[in-house]
Amino acid sequence: MDKLIEDIVKELVDKPNEVTITSVESERTVIYELRVGDGDLGKVIGKKGRTAHAIRTIISAISAKGGGKRAQLEIVE
């Protein structure tokens, strides 16, 4: 899942080398923390949060289909 998120976000930003993803697992959930370079935060969030919402929808659909832990995406400044 890390690779999928990374590939999607790298296509959106101007500085793809500065994209980092860390995952934090708990008993029922996996939280993916996304960090991007300066000036790229708005591109990942999108107008009214639509891009971020779309990425979160993809992640939750994949985790639900797999029957595994619930997945969440946090965009960290």
Please indicate whether residue 31 or residue 69 has the higher confidence score (pLDDT). Answer: 31
> b/e per residue, 7-32, with b = 16+ CB within 10 A?
ebbeebbeeeeebebeeeeeeeebeb
Asked if the model's pLDDT at residue 9 lies above 90, the reply is: yes
**Full domain range(s) for residue 30:** 2-76
- Domain with 67 in it: what CATH number? 3.30.300.20
pLDDT digits (tens, 9 = 90+) for 45-69: 999 999 999 999 999 999 888 777 8
State the total domains in the chain.
1
- What percent of the chain is predicted at pLDDT more than 70? 100
